[in-house]
Amino acid sequence: MVNMRSSLFPKLSLILVGGISLIAQGIVFIPTLFSFILHTLPPWGNIALGIILFIAAIFLYIALTNRVSKKSFLGRRSNGTLLAIQAFTFAGVFFLLENSGSRAREVGFLLSGIITALTTYGLYLSLRPVKGSAAQHADKKEADSESVYVFDPGTDVKALNEQVASLTRQLSAEKKRTTQLTFLNELSQQLEAELDPPVAAQLAVNTLEKAMDCSMAALMMYESDKDELVVLAAAGSSSHIIPPGYRQGAAKGLLGRVIRLKKTQIVNDTRLDPDFIPLNNETTLSVINVPIIQHGHVQGILEICSDKEYAFSGADAAIVEGVASELMRAWERSSYHQRLTELIQAGISLTTLLDPQAAVQEVAVIARKTLAARFVFVTLLDQQGNFSRTASAGDAPILLTSLNNNSSNEPLMQAALNATKPFRVRDLRKYTTARKMEIDNTSLRSVLAIPIRLHRLSIGTILAFGKQEGIFFSENDESLADLLSSQAAASIESSWLYQELRNTLNITSMLYQLSVDVLQTEELGNAAELIAQAAHKVTNAKETGIVLLTREGQIQADVEIDANGLHRRKKHPTEIINQAIQSGQSIIVSVETGSLVSYPLQTRSRTYGALWINIPESRGQNFANLQTLANQAAIALERSILLSELRQQAKQLEAAYAELEITYDRTLTALMSALDARDRETEGHSTRVSKLACLLGEAVGLSGSQLKALERGALLHDIGKIGISDTILHKPGKLTDNEWKIMRVHPDIGARIVEGIPFLQDTLSVIRYHHERWDGSGYPVGLSGKDIPIQARIFAVVDVFDALTSKRTYRKKSSPEEAIQYLREQSNILFDPEIVEALSRLPYSEFIEGEKHIT
């Protein structure tokens, strides 16, 4: 009984010491499990406590083994070897994992714990005596009853070493994996910034070269149109073997196999792979090739090379695939921001387009570039709901013909017009079963439909077909399309307003000329011809006729214009003519060929006849212009008839003509007041400078016609700003260089607006050259000295004087004297010195903003 207790005590003590050793290692490697004990200690306290316990455990091991070493199978040397293995394992793992993550430290604790368990087990076996030893002779009965265990120390130590080596390899692999994940996380953070694709690619290969411990990491871009791969970035000790701009056909080799299969390829012995094509002096034996895929299409290939056999595993391939995914996302972000920036810049140029057709064509070009579409079709509705203007960008003749022939009946077009937001169609061929739009090839089957909406009404559509370098449009494309739609609507509205203004000016000019011509005629028949020709030109009608009546209702003169030219008509549409004359209002009747319209030619004193027009429905018409023409024609007729009947009233007619001219001037004044109101800071500017310019023109000796041209030019000097975007015109801060370039074209825009209007021809010198300067530093031409027309020189001085004496948000208002002083300082530099001196002699203080006595 005593012997049993004496042999059991060392064994239990040994198990207890092993537990102490395990607790010590747990405190050192994974202190979070013992936080309930260690929370009161400083950060270094857990390491100190663990090491103290471990050393205490080692000393207890030694004490126990010394006690039983004489009767054990293993001597002190063998026991010391086991304890040394445990101690060195603990120290090695501790220093190896000093700065590693929690997962690696748990694996280290597992390795060290296994070594401790094996050491304890080996020492446990050493407590059993050998048969025939001195202990057996001391107690033969106990020795006879015990079985003999033969222990081979060489074999067990070798097994322990192999286990230690295996666990060490696992620990190294885990640490490598942790390092790779760290590099991948750092790359992901770097790629969050907006980087150009080559920069992002170089960061990716640099990261892979460090993480994979390889001889070379390279990225090759796939050019689908050429079916070639071109090197974009490379890193590593062997990267010099790739020539600059290296290209390779995409249909051959290992890289070609990656493109065909669209899957990662791992080759751990390139000598056994027939598809591997080595470069000059290349010693690569292991390769990982990972495709970079976007929307199902290969955009490039990441290639990792090593000079060693079997250098890569599936885990390494997963790391490279993660880099490929991060790189693709970075490219998509960079592409989106770049396209967004270009779209915003393009929007500024769109607002300067004054012709609706030019605006529609530019929208098509910008849409194709922004959305990376293969083909874009844009259509615009007219006032009657017809597709009056179309434009396209890209090469798709079959699709273009189909759209032009079936625009009004195409379901996709109607769906786009009825939509409030852009929408995507994955496959056009499956969009509707009733009709199928013909397309040139399957790459055009995806569609991005974009409604162009103005004031909550659809005025047109943009259809983008086929994604370049892919098939389908993305959510990013849809987001850009929404902004594009807004910019297109703004550009078209701006061009419409410009056209409306130009048409109004043309109508005004034509009416003015008609009045002049009718007044100059002595025959009533000639007057009727002039009115009919003007109406026919304005409406582009199929037929136009006029009937003039005497006071008794008899036909006094009549004429018709049709395809055969100007001639008399035997029978006019008397029914509609009589209705118009009797009602005193315009009559519109729908006929087979379009619309038949009749306007009475009447004034307050008398009805002179009627004007009738046959207008094709497809062309549409602004009937307000026709009514204005009829009213003006009646007035002109009245003047002409009175002139032919009563020559003695010539002075009255002359006064009426002068009144008419004043009306036009007032119209121009009202027009420019409306334009001035567009910019509150310059409101009233045109009226003030017009009055002061005329006074200064008289002072320098201008003739009456020159003064009239100066007056009208002063009123219209900034009419070109109708073509400048409000974003630039109302910008509170300083304009950029590009915005200044756009702002400086307003004199040319204004000149183009009025150059076709005969009675405004004399105003061109003021409108075009009012920003020219005496020393040649002005714009748009850069004239200098007396090469600048006299009216422009006069207006330039007056314009600056008014600007200086008016309130502005960016500076305080100058007094008239301060303004004159500035003009004198710039005399002979920016301004004509004679004109500046002439202004200084005038009562200029009466012509400043806020003076109520100016009339």
Residues 339-367 pLDDT 10s:
777 777 766 666 666 777 788 888 888 88
Three-state DSSP state, 100: coil
Q: Rounded distance, CA 367 to CA 73, Å? A: 89
CA dist 637 and 112 (Å) reads: 116
Q: How high is the pLDDT of residue 375?
A: 92
The strand ranges marked E within 145-268 are 216-223, 228-235, 247-249, 265-267
The answer on pLDDT for 392 being more than 60 is yes
Q: For residues 357 and 372, what is the distance between their CA atoms, to the nearest angstrom?
A: 22
Q: How far apart are CA 88 and CA 657, in angstroms?
A: 117
**CA 406 vs CA 169, 401, 414: distances in Å:** 71, 9, 11
φ/ψ (deg, to 5) at 96: -65, -35
Distance of CA 548 to the CA centre of its chain: 62
In 3D space, the residue among 757, 796, 798 whose CA is nearest the CA of residue 779 turns out to be 796
**Could you report the per-residue pLDDT of 561-614, keeping only the tens digit for each?**
887 777 776 678 888 888 888 888 888 887 777 778 888 887 777 787 888 888
Quote the pLDDT of residue 286. Answer: 92
Q: Average pLDDT of 809-837?
A: 87
- The kind and range of the H/E element at 820 are helix 816-825
The pLDDT confidence band at residue 519, using thresholds 50, 70 and 90, is low
Query: Rounded CA gap, 86 and 82, in Å?
Result: 6
Indicate left, alpha or beta for 521 from its phi (over 0: left) and psi (-120 to 50: alpha).
beta
Contact 642, 649 (CB under 8 A): yes
Instruction: Report the mean per-residue pLDDT for the chain.
Output: 76
| 587-591/594-602 β-pairing | antiparallel
Q: Quick one: pLDDT at residue 651?
A: 60
| pLDDT score at 624 | 66
Q: With the C-alpha atoms ordered 353, 358, 359, 365, is the resulting torsion angle positive or negative?
A: negative
What confidence tier does 643 reach under pLDDT thresholds 50, 70, 90? low
Mean pLDDT over 45-57 rounds to: 69
CA–chain centroid gap for 468, Å, is: 17
pLDDT higher than threshold 50 for residue 703: yes
Question: Is the model more confident about 193 or about 692?
Answer: 692
Residue that the structure tokens 């021809």 belong to:
761
| Beta bridge mates, 555 | 549
pLDDT of amino acid 204? 87
Q: Which residue do the tokens 């570039």 mark?
A: 369
Residues in the chain: 855
Print burial letters for 114-150: b (CB count within 10 Å at least 16), e (below 16).
Answer: ebbebbbebbeebbbbbeeeebbeeeeeebeeeeeee
Predicted confidence (pLDDT) at residue 739 exceeds the cutoff of 70: yes
pLDDT digits (tens, 9 = 90+) for 279-304: 777 788 899 999 988 777 788 999 99
When pLDDT is cut at 50, 70 and 90, the band that residue 679 belongs to is low
What is the rounded CA–CA span in Å between residue 354 and residue 502?
A: 10
Alpha carbon 52 to its chain's center? 65
Of 773, 788, 798, 763, nearest to 693 by C-alpha is 798
What angle separates helix 650-677 from helix 685-699, to the nearest 10 degrees? 130
Per-residue pLDDT, averaged over 487-511, amounts to 75
Lowest mean pLDDT among 311-315, 329-333, 446-450, 695-699: 329-333
* Side chain identity, residue 819: A
334 or 288, which is more confident:
288
Mean pLDDT on 56-74: 60
Mean pLDDT of the 115-134 span = 62
Specify which of 86-90, 555-559, 571-575, 769-773 reaches the highest per-range mean pLDDT: 769-773
Read off the amino acid at residue 844: Y
Q: Is pLDDT above 60 for 457?
A: yes
Query: 234 near 221, Cβ under 8 Å?
Result: no
Residue 64 has pLDDT above 70, yes or no: no
Query: What Å distances lie between residue 297 and 221, 258, 336, 477, CA to CA?
Result: 12, 12, 18, 17
Query: Tokens representing 700?
Result: 């320098």
Tens-digit pLDDT profile for residues 535-557:
777 777 788 888 888 777 777 77
The CA–CA distances, whole Å, from 475 to 331, 449, 480, 563, 725 equal 15, 13, 9, 55, 30
Calpha distance 406→451 (Å, rounded): 18
Q: Looking at the DSSP assignment, which residues form a beta bridge with residue 293?
A: 298
User: CA torsion sign, 368 to 371 to 375 to 379?
Assistant: negative
Higher pLDDT, 768 or 84: 768
If 0-12 CB within 10 Å is exposed, 13-18 middle and 19+ buried, where does residue 77 land?
exposed
pLDDT of 140 over the 50 cut: no
Distance of CA 84 to CAs 77, 113, 156, Å? 10, 14, 15
For residue 462, the model assigns a pLDDT of 87
Task: Answer yes or no: is pLDDT of 794 > 60.
Answer: yes
Q: How far apart are CA 518 and CA 508, in angstroms?
A: 15
Q: Is the pLDDT of residue 62 over 60?
A: yes
CA distance linking residue 820 with residue 804, whole number of Å: 9
In the prediction, which pLDDT does 253 show?
Answer: 85
Is 506 strand, coil or helix? helix
Peptide bond into 244 cis (omega under 30): no
Under the banding of pLDDT at 50, 70 and 90, the label for residue 184 is confident
In 3D space, the residue among 463, 402, 460 whose CA is nearest the CA of residue 435 turns out to be 402
pTM: 0.43
In the structure, what pLDDT confidence band is assigned to residue 130 with cuts at 50, 70 and 90? very low
- Better-scored residue on pLDDT, 846 or 2: 846
pLDDT band at 784 (very low <50, low <70, confident <90, very high): very high
Q: Where are the beta strands (DSSP E) in 307-386?
A: 373-381
As a whole number of angstroms, the distance between CA 262 and CA 222 comes to 12
Treating both helix axes as pointing N-terminal to C-terminal, what angle do 45-68 and 2-29 enclose, rounded to 10 degrees? 160
Q: State the pLDDT at residue 347.
A: 67
Rg of the chain (C-alpha set) = 47
